[in-house]
Structure 1
Amino acid sequence: MPSYDITRELSESTIIYPGDPEIKINPIDDCGCRVSKVCFSSHSGTHIDAPSHYLKSAMTVDRIPVSVLTGEARVIDLTTVEGSIGRYDLKGKVLGAKRVLLKTAFSGKHVFEEDFPHITYEAAAYLKEQGVFLIGIDSPSIEMYKGDGSVHKILLMSNIVIIELLDLSVVNEGIYRMCALPLRFKGLDGSPARVILSDDNLLINPGIKR
């Protein structure tokens, strides 16, 4: 069964959102064994935004149900859309999916760009209307650079989980089985995550429900 690791490598050269702490890795060779001291933010690399990212009393990353983070996911190819992804760009493409991953032209890029692809408030509202409970994107943020937080808030207030900075460059549009597991940081607002997609008989028999 083919599988795809759509996680970006976590290193000191990983894209950092301006203002976030840089990733620092210091190897410690002591007593004949190797240990590394790693410093990073809860939103470094490919990571999950828990609702408490913007809403302090909301669900934290360790409380996100595994059932939300694993299961059928639809990859939507939006590589021809530049900048803002609007409601019109998504209309008719969700097709009942509850986990949606947005593939943009940013996949495979390794340098931060202020005009990275992002969804608009109207697009976020549309995904909410469609009953989506997990949204992933391959750019540094679901929201425009220096946005007012409204896109995050409309999603997170509805307990819609967000995954940011994926790498979907080797994945085609379609339905996959997804596993997206964050570190279980108690009470935190987010965490780096390992995200894997795999093909299964959903592609052969799309009528199967998960």
Structure 2
Amino acid sequence: MQFFDVTRQLGEDTLVYPGDPIPRMIREDAGDSLLTEVHLGTHTGTHIDAPAHYLKNGATVDTIPLPLLIGPARVIDLCRVRGAITPADLSGRCEGAERLLIKTWFSGEDAFDPGYPALSVEAARYLTENGIICVGMDAPSIEAYDGDGSVHRHLLERDVVVLELLDLTGVPEGEYTMIALPLRLRGLDGSPARVVLCEKPKSGGIS
């Protein structure tokens, strides 16, 4: 059984969205132990957006139900797409899935690019119409850099879990089991998360 850690390493050189806090790790040698003071934003590195990120009275990250964060997930490869991801790009790719992770050309990039791939509003609607309960991307945001929040609001108003800044490098298209666990930050709008995929065992006996 193969595991894929699709979490970006979190350090002082981690890619951040413009305006977000720059991560800082202040190490202290206490003699018989090491201690580190960590400064970062709730949307630093691979992270989960809670509804409260865009909805003032929305659910906070510590209240997201675990069944949304753990379960079957499908990875699709849209590395060929440049610009906005549309319903045509998703057509026939997400039917029957509950959790969808979208691999794009941005996986493995380590510098911010305002032209990163993102969902169009129409694509977000397509996903919710097809029963998606969790959607993740390897881009800094699921919404275009010049977006007005409509993509986020459409998904979060419907309690769809949003994962951003995954690293799907080396992960083939296919069906997996996903575990995506945020820090249990009480009352906050998001959290860095560790996201792991496990290949589903092949069906059939040994010949």
Matches within 5 A, 1:107-186: 107-186=107-186
Q: Cα RMSD over matched residues?
A: 1.0
User: Which residue in 2 is equivalent to 1:75?
Assistant: 75
1:113-149 CA-partner distances (Å, limit 9, x unpaired): 0000001000000001001010000000000003100
State how far apart, in whole Å, the 2-side matches of 1:166 and 1:102 are: 9
State how far apart, in whole Å, the 1-side matches of 2:73 and 2:200 are: 12
1:141-180 CA-partner distances (Å, limit 9, x unpaired): 0000031000000000001010000000110000001000
State how far apart, in whole Å, the 2-side matches of 1:167 and 1:98 are: 20
User: Which residue in 1 is equivalent to 2:62?
Assistant: 62
Cα displacement (A) at 1:65: 0.8
Q: Are 2:70 and 2:179, in contact at CA under 8 Å, matched by a contact in 1?
A: yes
Taking structure 1 as the reference length, the TM-score comes to: 0.95
User: Which residue in 2 is equivalent to 1:6?
Assistant: 6
State how far apart, in whole Å, the 1-side matches of 2:159 and 2:182 are: 16
Cα displacement (A) at 1:76: 0.8
State how far apart, in whole Å, the 2-side matches of 1:111 and 1:5 are: 20
SS of alignment partner, residue 109 of structure 2: coil
Q: Are 2:79 and 2:104, in contact at CA under 8 Å, matched by a contact in 1?
A: yes
Cα displacement (A) at 1:205: 3.7
Structure 1 runs of 4+ off > 4 angstroms? Answer: none
User: Which residue in 2 is equivalent to 1:16?
Assistant: 16
Query: Unmatched 5+ residue regions in structure 1?
Result: none
- Identical-residue share of aligned pairs (%): 51
User: Which residue in 2 is equivalent to 1:195?
Assistant: 195
Matched to 1:41, the amino acid is G
Query: Unmatched 5+ residue regions in structure 2?
Result: none
Cα displacement (A) at 1:200: 2.2
Matched to 1:35, the amino acid is L
State how far apart, in whole Å, the 2-side matches of 1:96 and 1:200 are: 16
Aligned residue pair count:
204
State how far apart, in whole Å, the 2-side matches of 1:83 and 1:26 are: 38
